[in-house]
Structure 1
Amino acid sequence: MSTVIDQAVQARLIASAPQDRAVPAQLRYQRSDPFAVHIAFPPVASLDGADVEWAFARELLACGLISPTGHGDVHVWPCGPERTVLEFHAAEGVAMVQIDTAELRRFLTRSYALVPAGSETGQFDLDGDLTALLRGA
């Protein structure tokens, strides 16, 4: 079984002017980083023309499908039965995107098949990592 899940999704960038626009996004979940979900946006979605990637808790995404959640840089909440809003805060400003809730659920289901909820800490090889660290010292 693969240790990485990649899923392309279509995001709708919510803008005040002139109008919302669709942008591609890539969701990623890795067994080696079991608590996090990553979402990447292409340069067309950013103000400075650079790739943008955010990482946040898988649990935050799961809870945000049901009710508003988040604090700090990432907030997630349902927007009706079919869409979910992800809000990202940075020094440059705030970005909000809507993503199809069914796509997010499908992604989370695949991530839980790879690493079930509650078993995230079992994905770390602490002995191996410590041995490698001491070997390099």
Structure 2
Amino acid sequence: MSTVIEQAVQARLVASAPRMETVPATLRYDRGDPYAVSMAFPPPATLEGVEVSWAFSRELLAQGVDGPAGVGDVRVRPYCYDRTVVEFHATEGVAVVHIRTEELRRFLERSQHLVPAGREHHYLDWDQDLAQLLDDYT
């Protein structure tokens, strides 16, 4: 069984101009980091021209498809009946994308099959994490 889930999604980038540009994005969940998900954007979709990946809580994403969630760099909330807004706050500005809620729910369901919510702590490798932490200080 694979320990990583990746799912391509189409994100609509909200800009100050009236049109919304569709950009590809990839959602990723890795059982080795059971509390987090990431969303990556390819170089053509970013200001820097390099792939940009944001990591944030799987729980934040799950809460955000049903109601506003997040107060930090990543915020998620429902929009209309079939979209979810994900906001990425950085020093350069704010990127706002709309994603079909159905795609997010499908991704979350797949991640739940890999690691059920509330059971994430069973998938942590405390010995490896501690060894890595100690190696960083030697």
TM over 0.5: yes
Per-residue deviation at 1:97? 0.2
* 1:6-58 deviation per Cα after TM superposition (whole angstroms, max 9, x unaligned): 00000000011252100000000000010001000011211121211100000
- Aligned 1:16-95 pairs, distance under 5 A: 16-17=16-17, 19-95=19-95
Are the structure 2 counterparts of residues 35 and 132 from structure 1 closer, same or farther at C-alpha, using a change threshold of 3 Å? closer
Are the structure 2 counterparts of residues 85 and 126 from structure 1 closer, same or farther at C-alpha, using a change threshold of 3 Å? same
| Runs of 4+, deviation exceeding 2 Å | 127-137
| Residue 10 of structure 2: aligned partner | 10
Are the structure 2 counterparts of residues 101 and 134 from structure 1 closer, same or farther at C-alpha, using a change threshold of 3 Å? closer
Instruction: Work out the CA distance in 2 between the residues paired with 1:105 and 1:121.
Output: 22
State the TM-score, normalizing by the size of structure 2: 0.92
State the TM-score, normalizing by the size of structure 1: 0.92
Flag structure 2 segments of 5+ consecutive residues without an equivalent: none
| Residue 126 of structure 1: aligned partner | 126
Letter in 2 for 1:85: V
Instruction: Work out the CA distance in 2 between the residues paired with 1:62 and 1:6.
Output: 16
Instruction: Work out the CA distance in 2 between the residues paired with 1:8 and 1:59.
Output: 20
Q: Compute the RMSD of aligned alpha carbons.
A: 1.9
SS at match of 2:70: strand
Percentage of identical aligned residues: 62
SS at match of 1:116: coil
Flag structure 1 segments of 5+ consecutive residues without an equivalent: none
Are the structure 2 counterparts of residues 134 and 58 from structure 1 closer, same or farther at C-alpha, using a change threshold of 3 Å? closer
Are the structure 2 counterparts of residues 87 and 128 from structure 1 closer, same or farther at C-alpha, using a change threshold of 3 Å? closer
